Structure 1
Amino acid sequence: MTSANAAANLSRDETAARSASISLRDVRVELDLTGAPDAGRTGFPTVVTLEFDATVEATWVDFIGESVERVVVNGVDRDVAWDGARILLAGLEGENVVRIEAVGAYSRSGEGLHRFRDPVDGETYLYTQYEPADARRVMPCFEQPDMKARFTFVVSAPAGWHVLSNQAAVRTEVHGDAQTVEFAPTLPLSSYITAVAAGPYHGASGEWSRDGLTVPLGAYCRASLARHFDADEILEITRQGLDFFHEAFGFPYPWSTYDQVFVPEYNLGAMENPGLVTFTEAYVFRGASTDAQHEARANTILHEMAHMWFGDLVTMRWWDDLWLKESFADYMGSHASAAATRFADTWVSFAARRKAWAYQQDQLPTTHPIVADIPDLEAAKLNFDGITYAKGASVLKQLVAYAGEDAFFEGARRYFRAHAYGNTTLDDLLAHLEAASGRDLRAWSAAWLETTGMSTLTYDREAGELIQTDPRPHRLAIGCYALRDGRLERNALVEADLRDERTRVELPDADLVLINDGDLTYAKARLDARSLDAVEEALSTLEDALARGLVWSALWNATRDGELPARRYLEIVRRHAPGEAHVGLLGGVTGNAAFAIGHYVPIEARAEERRAWLDLTWAQTQAAAPGGDAQLAWARALSGAAAFDDARAGELRAMLDGAAPVPAGLPLDADLRWSWLTALAATGHAGEADADAELARDDTATGRTARIRVLAARRDADVRAAAWHAAWDDRSLTNDHLDATIAGARTGESRSMLARFDDEYFARIRDTWSERSIEIARRLVTGLFPASDSLEPVDAWLAANADAPGALRRLVIEQRDHLARDLRVREASLRGR
C-alpha cells in the first residue's frame, strides 16, 4: 500500500505523545537488495530490530511498503496489525526488543529506496531519499525527528557493487554473486537522515585532515557518467568547506566519513545525510557549463556540509523549527562559498536569485512565518520553500550584521556543545546567541522569524524620506549614483536605520537612488521615477555586480507587482542584458524576460514581444564572445524563445542537421541539441523521427527523458491530449519522466490545445491527492494547473472542497494566486502600456 492516506499523515500532537512515552536507543536494519524486480521480485526484504524503553503498553511503528510478514515483541510473535502505514505494537514492557520482518517496495518516484536502471550499460543503481518521512518506505521505524537512535545497517547486495551508508563499513562478506556489508553503528540520528546507496558507482577518493582528525572522502556517480565527472573540483570544494566549518563551528566534524553521491532521477538539489550526502545528477555537467553552474554546485555542497552540524548533529524537535537547519544551511552555503572558495561574489547570486524566490513565496496568501506552524507531515513537506530557505537565510544575514560575526559563530559553537546529538527549538538557539552577543534577540525574532510578509521601501525625493510599508526594523545603506557621460557612478553611500513608516534621510542629489545598496536587509526596494529613467539609460554601466543585481531585482519586483509595465521592463532587458557580464545575473534576467512575455504582457501584444525576444536571443547567440558563458546563456534562452515563434526554425534545423555552421565557440552538446529540438517540435518543425534520430546520438538516461519531452511537445492537439492524459494515468512514469511529459505538454503555445481539459483537471486532483504519493501528486497539481483567463473554475473548486486536505488546498490556492497575478499585471500593463 503506497497511497497517501490519513494514517500516513502523522500529526505533531500524536508524535509528541509517542516520543514522550518511548525512549529509543538502538535500531538494526537488515536490507536484502540482491533481488531485482525484473527477476520476479517487486520489492526487497527489510528486517528491523528496535530496542527501546516504554511507559505504555502499546504504540505504533511507521511503515509503508508491500507487506509485513512478522512482528515479534520481546520474543513473542504477535498478530500482524498493519493498516498500510502503521504497525501496531502491543504487549510492551519497560524495556523492549521488537523485530519486524517486512517487504519494502522499490520506488520510481524518488521517495524511499529509488531504483534506476541505466539504459547505457544496463546497470542498476539504488539510493535512498527520506526527508521528511520516507524512511518508513524502506524500514519500519519511528518516523519523527525527535526520536534519535544509533542505527546499524547491514546490507546485502550484488558482489562488485559499492555499498555505502552513513558510517564506514566494518565487515564485508562475499557469498558467490552477493555480498553482505555491515556498517559501524551511527551516533544518534533521526530516521530521515539515515541513508543507503548501492550500485556499480564510479568513485574518486581522497581525505581531509585537520588537528589530528582525518576523514576519508568519496565522490561517486553512475559509471556511464564517469567521463563527465569532475571529481577533483568537487573534492577541492569539500576540503575548503571542511576547513572553514571546522574553524568556524569549533566542533570537530562529527561523522566518520564524507561520501557524496550524485544520483539519477533525484527530486531535490541534495540531501544532508551525515556521511553520505546525495546530490542530483544535474550537478554532473555532461556538456558545456557556465561558471554560474559551478558556483551553484559549490554552494549546494557547502549548504549540505553545514547541515552536518545544523540539522544532523543538532536537529529540530519537530518540523515547526525546520528553519533551524534549512535557513542556517542556506545562509552558510553562501557565506562559506564567499569566504573559502573561488566564488567570492556568491552574494550577488544570492541577492538576485535566492531572495527572488523568497519574495515570491512571501507574497502568496499561503505565506508563513520562518518559524512556522506545522501541524502534520503533509504541511511539513510543503514548507521546504522560499520562506524556510531563502527568507530565513536573508534574515540570518541581517542577524550576523546586527549581532556581529564573531558573536554569531560563538553562539553557534555554544549551541553545538550544549545540544550535540539532541533536538532543539527556537528558544534553545536564541539563548546561546543572546549569551554570546549580549543582545536581546527576542524583539528581532518577533519582527523577523515570527511574522509574515515584507516591507516595500520607496524614496520620496520631495520630502527627503524613506517610506516603508509593513514597518519593521531595518539597517540598510542607500547608494547615490550620478549619471555622467552615459555611465552611472556611485558618489555617496548613506547608512540608515528604519523602524517607522517614514524616516527622514539626508541624501545628496542623485540620478539613481538605490535603496538597500549592499543588500543588508530583506525588503522590496522601489526605484523612483528619476532613478528608473537613469537605469533605463545606463543600467549595464554600473561596475558593481551586486548593485546591478539589486537594480534588476527592483525592476522585476515592480513588474511582478504591476507597477512597471511589462513591455517597458522588456525594453530595459533588450537594451542592457546584452551588456550583463555576470552570467548568474544574465541567466536570471533572461528567464524573467521569457516569463514576463508569457504571463504579464497583454495577449494582444505577445506576438510582437515574442518576435523581439527571439530576435535578441538569436542575435546575442551570434554576437556573444565565442566560447564564453554569455554565449551559452543566450543559446539556452534561444531555445525558449524559438518554442513560440518559428522565424528561426530553418536556421536551427540546419545547425542541428549539420547543414549550417554553429556560431563560433558555441558547444552544440547533447543538452542544447535536445533543447533546440524541443522548440522545433513545439512549432511543428520536428517530429518523432527527429526525436528517434537524436536518441540514436544520445541514448542515455537524459536522452530518453528528453525524447519524452520532445514527443509530448509536438504541435498537434491529439499529441498534447495524449501527453496530458499520460501524466495522470500512466503509473509507469518515473518522477523524471512525469516531469518531461508535463513540460512537453506545456511547451510553447499550449493553451489552445489544453484548455478543453480545465474541468477534468479540477475533477481529478482530489482523487489524485489521495491515491498518489505527495511527490507525484504535487507535480500533477502544480504542473497541469490551467493557464486560464478566469478565476471562476478554481474559485468554484475551492468553495466546493473546503474539506480537502490542507496541503492540497494550499497548492491550489498558490496556483490561483499566480493566475490572479498574471491577470492583474496584464491589465495594469494595458493601462500603463
Structure 2
Amino acid sequence: MTTANLTRSETAARSTTVTVRDYRVELDLSGAPDRTRPGFTTTTTVAFDATATETWLDFLGLAVESVTVNGREVAVDFDGARISVTGLSASNVVVVRAIGEYSRSGEGLHRFLDPVDGSTYLYTQYEPADARRVFACFEQPDMKAPFTFVVTAPDGWEVVSNRPADTVTVDGPNQTVEFSPTLPISTYITAVAAGPYHRVESSWSRGELTIPLGVLCRASLADHLDADTILEVTRQGLDFFAEHFAYPYPWGKYDQVFVPEYNLGAMENPGLVTFTEAYVFRGAATAAQYEGRANTILHEMAHMWFGDLVTMVWWDDLWLKESFADYMGALASAEATEWTDAWVAFANRRKAWAYLQDQLPTTHPIVADITDLEAAKLNFDGITYAKGASVLKQLVAYVGREAFFAGARRYFRAHAFGNTTLDDLLTELSAESGRDLDAWARAWLQTTGVSTVTLDDDHIVQTDPRPHRLAVGLYDFDADGALVRRDRVEVDIVEERTPITLSPAPLRLLNDGDLTYAKVRLDADSLVTVERSLDRVVDPLARGLIWSALWNATRDGELAVGRYLTMARNFAPAESNTALLTAVLSNASFAIGHYLPTAERDRCRQEWLESCWTALHSAAPGSGEQLAFARATAAAATVDAGRAADIRALLLGETPPPKGLALDPDLRWALWTALAATGAATTDDLDTELTRDDTASGRTAHLHALAARPDRDVKAAAWTRIFDDTALTNDHLDAVIDGFRAGDRRDLIGSYDDEYFTRLRPTWERRSIEIARRIVVGLFPAADSLAAVDNWLATNTDAPAALRRLVVEQRDHLARALRVRALG
C-alpha cells in the first residue's frame, strides 16, 4: 500500500535516529523537450549518521531502479512513496537511482511547453513536501543538510539552482551544470529551473558584500518584463532587511524567476525565488497590482531569514515563517519603497482573508495542531498568513519596535541554519523586551476566533474577549467639507465591556490606525455619516477600515445587502486607492450573487452592470480606476447581457473604447468570456480571438470562454473533462472549472450536484492533493439548501480529514449565504 502521507509523529521519530550530513542530487533533464518522455533520471547520494539499523527515504515517481547501501546494492523495497533502507551502520552513504515524473500540476518538477515558440521550460515547486517527486530524500523540514545539485540539460538553456554554478561541461547537444553546495537547508526550499529563460542581471552591494541579482522569465514574455522596476524593489528590500536584521544575506546570489502555471504567488527558495508569471503584466496594470507584486517580492525576501535561515521543526509552526513574512512584506513596502500606503491594502484585503478564515468551523490557532502533510497543505491559509501578521503587528506595538527587531536578531544568531518552535522565538523576544510573553501567546497564538468590537454609548464592547490595544478616531468635517480626524483616543481593552469617554463626532472609527485584529462595527450615527459622505474621508487607511467594517457587517447579516450595494455604487467611482477599489468591486459582485434573495438578483445585476459601465466611461483616461471598472464591467457582463451588443462592438472595433483604455489581451478575453457566458459569442468568435492571442495565457482563456457557453452539451463536456482528462494542467483545469460555473446558470449545472458528492472520495484518492482541492472547492454546488452536503458529511465520517475540512468550509460559506439571503 502506498503511504504518501507523512505524519508528525513518524517524522519526529525518524529525525531522532537519523542525522543527515549532505546530499548530492543528479538530474538528467536532457530529454525534457521530448514530450513523449514522461520521466527523467534522478540519482540521490545521501550521507547520514544513524542510531537505528533501518529507516526510509521518501520518493514519489515512476520507478526506483536501484538502491545501494554503503557500497552494496540491495533489493529495492519501494511501495510507491517510501524506499525502505535496512542494514545501516553508524555512518552511511545511500545511493538511489530512480525515474522521476515530469509534472503538469505544478507539484514537483513542472514541464511547460510554450505555444508561442515551442520551447520547453522546467521549474520545481516543493512546499510542503514535493521534493520527493524529484529526488529521494528525508522529506521533513527539520532534517537540514547541504545539497549539491548536478543538472544535465540541453546546451543553451539557462540552468539555475539555489547556488551559483561551479562547473559547466558541454558534451554534444547537452550541458552538465554542477552547482556549489548549499548551506544547510530543508528539502522543500531546494530548487531548480531550466529552459531558454530570458535573463536580466544586476547586483546589490552593502559594505564588502556583493550579491549578484537575476530576473528571469520565458523568452516570449521578455518584452513585457519590467526588470528594472523589479530590481529596484529588490535592492530596496535588501537594504531594509540588512539594516533591520543585522545578519548578512547568507545565500550567495538572488535570482527571481517568473514561471508559468504556478500554484502559488511565489516561493522563497533561497537564492532562487520563484513567482507566478501573472506578475509579468502583459498589458496595463493598476497601482494595486504593482504594489501587490512589490509586497510579494519583499515577503519572499523576508523568508531568506524567517523560514530559510531559521526553519520551523514541523508544520505546526508554519506561522514562524509565513506570519513574519506577511508582516515584513507590508512593513518593508511602506518604509522602503514608493508604496507607502501598503498598510491600507493589508488592513482591507489581507485581514479580510483572515477574518473570513477565522469564522469558519475549521478555524485553528495561529500555532496549529498539524498531524500530517495533508493537514499542512491546507494550512497555508488566512490564519497562518494574515491573522499571524496582524498579531505580529500588535506584538511590535506591545514590546516596542526596538525590542522586537533586537529579539529577531538574537533569534537569527541563536538558531541560524537550525529549526525552532514557538518557545524559541518567545525566549529571544522576552530576553530583549523584558516582558513575559506567555500570556500574550496564549491569548493570540493559541486561541481561535475573531472579536467583534462595537461602541455602546460610553463603553467599548467586544465579543470573544481578548486583550487589545486600539484607538478610536474622531472624524469631523473641515472647512472644505472633508472628513478628517480631529482627535484620537487610545485604550487598552481586556474585558467584554470597557468604559471610554469620547466627545461627539460625525464619525467615530474603532481600531483607527488598524492597531489590532478585530472586526469593528460602525455605530448608527457614524453609519449615517458614512452613507452620505464616505467619499469625503481623506485618509486612505481610514477609508479602508470603513469599507472593511461595512463588508464584515454585510457578511454577518447586520447591514442590509442593499445598503452596502448602494454605497458601493455611490462611492466606488470616487475611490482613488485601487487596492480598495478592486476589493469593493469584487465584494459588491459577490454580494449580488450570494447574499441577495433570488427575486432581487436580476434587477441588481442590471443596476450593477450599468454602474460599472458608467464609471468606466467617466473614469480618468488611462487611470487605474478606469482599468478596474473595465474589469468589473466584464465580470458583471457574465451574468447580465444588457451591454452585450456594446461590448461586442468594442471588441470588433466597430466603436472605439473609452479614451485611454487599452484593450490588451487579458481584458479582451475577459470581455469575450462575458459574451460567451450570456450566449453572445460563438465558437468562431473565440477561435478568432485565439488566433489573435495564441499564447499560453490565450489558450487558457480560450478554454475558459469555451466552457462558459450556456449550452447543456458544453457543460456536460466540461464536467467530463474536469474529472476524466488527467492531461489537463493545473491552469487549464481551473479554466474549465471556472467556465463550467460562469454565468451562474444553475438551470444548466444544478443537475450535477448529486454526482459531485459521489465523486468526492474517488477524486481525493486518485488525484494529487493540489488538483483534488481545486475540483472539490471549484465545483461545490451553489445550492438552495444544505441537505446534500449534510448528508455527505453524515455518511462520510471516515473520509480523509483534509477532504472533510474542505467540504465543511464550503458548507459554511453556503450556510452563511443562505442565512444572509433569508434576512433580505
Give the shorter-chain TM-score range.
over 0.9
3-state secondary structure, aligned to 2:34: helix
Counterpart Cα distance in 1 of 2:342 and 2:517: 17
Root-mean-square deviation (CA), in Å? 0.9
1:281-338 Cα shifts (integer Å, max 9, x gaps):
0000011111110000000000000000000000000000000000000000000011
For 1:214 and 1:509, the matched residues in 2 are separated by 57
For the 8 Å contact 2:32–2:120, the answer to whether it is kept is: no
Is 1:739 matched up with 2:751?
no
Structure 2 matches for 1:144-223, cutoff 5 A? 144-223=140-219
> 2:467: which partner in 1?
473
CA–CA distance in structure 2, aligned partners of residues 687 and 330 of structure 1: 44
Return closer, same or farther for 1:561/1:421 CA change in 2, 3 Å cut-off. same
Residues 26 and 44, structure 2, Cα contact 8 Å, conserved in 1? yes
State the SS of the aligned residue for 1:301: helix
What is the CA–CA distance in structure 2 between the aligned matches of 1:125 and 1:711, rounded to whole Å?
Answer: 27
Equivalent of residue 807 in structure 1, options 802, 810, 814: 802
- Equivalent in the alignment of 2:648: 653
* 2:507 maps to 1:512: yes
Q: What are the within-5 Å matches in structure 2 for residues 77-476 of structure 1?
A: 77-461=73-457, 464-476=458-470
Distance 1:36 1:583 in 2: 42
Whether 2:566 is the aligned partner of 1:566: answer no
Question: Which of 51, 56, 68 is the matching residue for 1:55?
Answer: 51
SS in 2 for 1:518: coil
Q: Which secondary structure state, in structure 2, belongs to the residue aligned with residue 748 of structure 1? A: helix
Task: Report the alpha carbon displacement of residue 749 of structure 1 after superposing the two structures with TM.
Answer: 2.5
Task: Indicate conservation of the 8 Å contact 2:68/2:74, yes or no.
Answer: yes
Cα-to-partner distance string for 1:404-447 (whole Å, 9 max, x where unaligned): 11110000000000000000000000000011111111111110
The residue that corresponds to 2:745 in the other structure is 750
1:824 equivalent in alignment to 2:822:
no
Q: Deviations over 1:196-249 (max 9, x none)?
A: 000000010000110200110000000000000000011111111001101100
Contact 1:492–1:508 (8 Å) recurs in 2: no
SS at match of 1:122: coil
1:660, 1:594 → 2: CA distance? 27
Counterpart contact for 2:616–2:626, Cα < 8 Å: yes
2:2 and 2:80 in contact (8 A); partners too: no
| Helix, strand or coil at the partner of 1:756 | helix
Shift in CA distance, 813/39, structure 1 to aligned 2, threshold 3 Å? closer
Alignment of 1:577-726 (within 5 A): 577-726=572-721
2:17 maps to 1:27: no
Mean alpha-carbon deviation: is it higher for 50-59 or for 39-48?
Answer: 39-48
Please, which of 570, 580, 584 is the counterpart of residue 575 of structure 1? 570
Give the C-alpha shift of residue 488 in structure 1: 2.6
Shift of 1:482: 2.7
TM-score, scaled relative to structure 2: 0.99
Matching residue within 772, 780, 792 for 2:775: 780
How many residues are paired up?
Answer: 823
Could you give the per-residue CA deviations for residues 630-687 of structure 1, whole angstroms, max 9, x where no partner exists?
A: 0000000001100111110001000100001100000110000000000000010002
Q: Percent identity?
A: 67
Taking the aligned partners of 1:502 and 1:6, their CA distance within structure 2 comes to: 55
What's 1:538 paired with?
A: 533
Q: Which stretch shifts more, 491-500 or 106-115?
A: 491-500
More displaced 10-residue stretch of structure 1: 661-670 or 746-755: 746-755
Post-superposition offset of 1:748: 1.2
- Offset at residue 40 of structure 1 (A): 4.0
Q: Secondary structure at the match of 2:122?
A: strand
**Structure 1, unpaired ranges of 5+:** none
CA distance in 2, matches of 1:37, 1:539: 56
Letter matched to residue 803 of structure 2: L
- More divergent stretch after superposition (31-40 vs 547-556): 31-40
2-structure distance, mates of 1:226, 1:800: 53
CA distance in 2, matches of 1:328, 1:366: 23
Instruction: Note if contact 2:63-2:98 (Cα within 8 Å) is conserved in structure 1.
Output: yes
Return the offset for 1:6: 6.0
SS in 2 for 1:131: coil
CA pair 577-40 structure 1, distance change in 2 beyond 3 A: closer
Q: How has the CA–CA distance of structure 1 residues 39 and 480 changed in structure 2, closer, same or farther, with 3 Å as cutoff?
A: closer
The alignment partner of 1:746 has SS state of helix
SS in structure 1 at match of 2:264:
coil
Q: Does residue 763 of the first structure (1) align with residue 753 of the second (2)?
A: no
Structure 1 length as normaliser, TM-score? 0.98
| 1:547 matched to 2:537 | no
Question: How far has the Cα of 1:39 moved from its partner?
Answer: 5.6
Alpha-carbon separation, structure 2, partners of 1:77 and 1:689: 60
Q: What is the deviation of 1:702?
A: 0.2
What displacement does 1:491 show? 2.1
Report the Cα distance in structure 1 between the residues aligned to 2:706 and 2:225, rounded to whole angstroms.
29
| Kept after mapping to 2: 8 A contact 1:37/1:43 | no
Once the two structures are TM-superposed, the CA of residue 486 in structure 1 deviates from its matched residue by 5.7
- Whichever residue aligns with residue 137 of structure 2, its letter is C
Secondary structure at the residue paired with 2:278?
Answer: helix
Partners of 1:53 and 1:792 in 2: how far apart?
Answer: 55
In the alignment, structure 2 segments of 5+ residues that lack a partner are none
For 2:292 and 2:487, the matched residues in 1 are separated by 32
Aligned partner of 2:520 among 520, 525, 546: 525
Letter in 2 for 1:82: F
Is the contact made by 1:483 and 1:534 (CA closer than 8 Å) also made in structure 2?
Answer: no
Deviation at 1:481, TM superposition (A): 1.8
Distance 2:601 2:460 in 1: 36
Instruction: Report how far residue 530 of structure 1 moved.
Output: 1.1
The answer on whether the counterparts of 2:484 and 2:539 sit within 8 Å (CA) in structure 1 is no
Could you tell me how far apart the structure 1 residues matched to 2:461 and 2:653 are?
58
Q: Determine if contact 1:486/1:537 at 8 Å carries over to the other structure.
A: no
